[in-house]
Amino acid sequence: MTSHPISHGGPLSGAGVAPVTSVVFDLDGVLVNSFAVMREAFTLAYAEVVGDGEPPFEEYNRHLGRYFPDIMRIMGLPLEMEGPFVRESYRLAHLVEMFDGVPELLSELRHRGIRLAVATGKSGPRARSLLDTLGIQGQFEVILGSDEVARPKPAPDIVLKAMDIMGADPDRTVMVGDAVTDLASARGAGITAVAAMWGETDEKTLLAAEPDVILHKPSELLSLTVP
């Protein structure tokens, strides 16, 4: 794999394109590695609400990026699972870690004057609590959850709201995500869709969605900005 961003003819390709001044990040799988915690929370919620049987976490994992109640509807699982899932997610939040290079990336982006936002499938309160626990909440101008917009991802609402709050220029804004829903949300908002490949994403599925830019490690995002 290359260690450099790969352009697929999106808004950032070609000479003379304005550098990025605003970044909207997804949270899970992009800034933080929360898969083990999500698996445990899902398993406990499934056992508590559904009962015996193998929790279908792999199927759940394929829908990451969406709001939890929407995933339950898609999978035909009880919406009552949300309560214990959220409870366990809060309880286990101290086990979530940032990906290598993320703290340094955020600090450097802020140093360069880049405006930063988070737009996540989590609820807003849970996202802000997690980022506060990790000590990086203050790096972001806005942190939005799927419960704070009319339509969660893959609709563009959450990205558009983050951009509106930041006063972001669509031609100089990117959305960094690890799921097809993130790319769809970015495109619906008229901004560049960037694929983050450093988590546990389904690489084949994500590449099939033809992201505008592919990044293999967090630091590569800096190449889209002005030092």
Whether 26 is catalytic is: yes
Are the C-beta atoms of 10 and 112 separated by less than 8 Å? no
Q: Which of 26, 70, 178, 212 is catalytic?
A: 26
Residue 134: CB atoms within 10 Å: 18
Residue 187: CB atoms within 10 Å: 20
Tokens (6 digits) for 188: 């619906």
Cα 82 from Cα 88, distance rounded (Å): 10
Whether 157 is catalytic is: no
Q: What is the set of active-site residues?
A: 26, 28
